[in-house]
Structure 1
Amino acid sequence: MKLLILDRDGVINEDSDDYIKSLEEWIPIPSAIAAIARLSKAGWTVAVATNQSGIARGYYDLATLDSMHARLRELVEEQGGELGVIQYCPHGPDEGCDCRKPRPGMLRRIAAHYGVDLAGIWFVGDSSGDLEAALAVDCQPILVKTGKGERTLAKTLPAGTLVFDDLAAVAAHLLQ
């Protein structure tokens, strides 16, 4: 199985330091939607692992999150692709869960869902927490410069991190 795991905010859609609190605030990056569809049509399974502490903070509810993910699936399907499983962490940063990145719980759940080993699987994110979660389960850490990526790039990156301009560039690399 060719599996690619993506962070959501800043990779697939525009990010906001004020949180994405409604379907109207969820603004897809068009080239990212097209990249997911292209990968899917080429035989890749594309899954998502996303921290969504806005739920714990009371900024939005599960129905709102579900509407964002339904819209994401719809946009990918409109371009002939399919999005795989979406794992999300609804917890706040102080709740001590195993799923909130940089902890690798969501990545492990994706691996269990598909019955795969995570060693070498690419995990694409825009933050240090994404890269740390990837390393914790032997995934290949991939940083994109969208979202918080430029800020993250200014920090010391984990050894072996690959850097791309955006998800479209990741897809182009994987499909060449």
Structure 2
Amino acid sequence: MIESVNRAAGSVRLPLVLGLTDGLLNALTLAASSILGTGGPISYTLAARVGTASLVTAAFAMFVTDYAERRAQLVHVSRQLSLTASGRMAGTRLGRLALGRSLRAMGVACVCSFVGAALPLVLGVLLPVPSWVVIALAIAALAILGALLARTLAGRPGYWALVMGAGGVAVTWIGNWLHIA
């Protein structure tokens, strides 16, 4: 039972982490000027627009990288088995399985990216707090994600949290400087 749970968690770890990180960073980059008050106000439509942009980029990036890696593994196995055509295994059931798993990874990354991007902005609309609190929440979420990753990967949680949080601060500064939304 525990082994199957670990295997399932491992199969979605990359798209989950990529999606959440990408979403949070997109929210900080694309909406920084709105959050800091130099752009338009934070709104549900801004949250939906930023979430959608994040979802689209995560979908494309996750599918292309995951499918390319799976196809490369099939080509490698074909060569190891001395099959005559290098892409022969990609056209088999294994190739369709690789495609399905890449589509699943893309779906997980899409949902996580949308949630990661839209949720901090929606909280900024709903909560009666200064808008900079949205930035603090997004940076804190990145730091917490870093600490959780470190615990999962036998790393140093404080270090990972610091690095992820610092990345959030840097991206916020860049987003405010670019003044996108």
Q: TM-score, normalised by structure 1?
A: 0.32
Higher relative contact order (CA 8 A, sep 6+): 2
Larger strand share, 1 or 2: 1
Rg bigger for which structure? Answer: 2
Larger helix share, 1 or 2: 2
